[in-house]
Amino acid sequence: EYLGLTAADRALVTLPLYYCYGRSVLQTHLYAGGSLVLDNRMAFPRRVLETLAAEGCTGFAGVPLTFEVIRRQVDVSTIPFERLRYLTQAGGAMAPETIAWVRDAFRPARLFVMYGQTEATARLSYLPPERADDKAGSIGIPIPGVELRVMDERGTEAPPGEIGELVARGDNVTPGYLDDPEQTAAILHDGWLWTGDLAERDADGFFYHRGRAKEVLKIGGHRVSPVEIEQVLARHPDVREA
């Protein structure tokens, strides 16, 4: 719905279809009556983008590393993407500098930054491209049919600006892990999926991912996510990847 997919859409997919992100691209395009071009040659990113152009693809999906590889190895300005209208990114937090580069390099195609989990088949939120400037760094708003909340350690909803665990509810949320009631009980409470991700919500209802709960470091009395450190390191001109 938020991508506006129709039977006229064709996505180029480099992602494996056994992975929830790749499979979601497959399923949404088949549901809309569209088509896919499968190309797993990301070792040769220019060939992939040339195929995207030659096949008249309207969409392209990638994880952060996909776009980092393209940024480092391909002069995108030399390839005419006449039909490309949108790009999507999920599978982890992408550096703000890379997000800005993708938006500029593939313009006028629009970039949708998204967030999801395998247990939520497979998308939970998206950032409308028109809010990319004033909501930079946000994972956006819930997709249609999904509710998101940020819960504190007491199990109550946290106020705007306070970090807590992100929980989700919707028809796309799994009923549980097969033959594993203990793990199911650990993630599902009263119909809500506890994602294990830390987040905060602003006053406008936009969510911001702040790292994985199990990975947070306590430094000098402050909770710090490794992602925050990696993003700072990635800004240094001598650091190619963090």
What is the structure's pLDDT at 96?
Answer: 86
User: How many CB atoms sit inside 10 A of residue 128's CB?
Assistant: 15
What's the pTM value of the predicted model, to 2 decimals?
0.88
Tokens at 85, concatenated: 């209208």
Walking along the chain (242 residues) 10 residues at a time, the average pLDDT comes out as 96 93 94 96 96 98 94 96 97 88 96 95 94 94 97 92 96 95 95 94 96 80 81 88 80
What is the structure's pLDDT at 153?
Answer: 84
What is the structure's pLDDT at 235?
Answer: 86
Instruction: Name the nearest CA neighbour of 206 among 142, 124, 152.
Output: 142
CA distance linking residue 201 with residue 187, whole number of Å: 21
H or E element, residue 59: strand 59-62
**What single string gives the DSSP state of each residue in 84-141?**
--EEEE-SSPPPHHHHHHHHHHTTTSEEEEEE--GGGTT--EEE-GGGTTTTTT--BE
What is the structure's pLDDT at 92?
Answer: 85
Q: Which residues, in sequence order, are CB contacts of 196 under 8 Å at separation 6+?
A: 165, 187, 212, 213, 214
Summarised one tens digit per residue, pLDDT across range 175-208 is 999 999 999 999 999 999 999 999 999 999 999 9
Tokens at 224, concatenated: 């710090």
Return the SS3 of 218.
Answer: strand
Residue 184, burial from CB neighbour count under 10 angstroms (0-12, 13-18, 19+): middle
CA dihedral for 52, 32, 93, 131, sign (positive or negative) = positive
Q: Which residues, in sequence order, are CB contacts of 115 under 8 Å at separation 6+?
A: 90, 123, 124, 125, 126, 139, 140, 207, 209
What is the structure's pLDDT at 49?
Answer: 98
59 neighbors 36 (Cβ within 8 angstroms): no
What is the structure's pLDDT at 110?
Answer: 97
What is the structure's pLDDT at 172?
Answer: 93
Instruction: Name the nearest CA neighbour of 53 among 78, 70, 33, 28.
Output: 78
What is the structure's pLDDT at 44?
Answer: 96
Asked if residue 108 has a cis previous peptide bond (ω within 30° of 0), the answer is yes
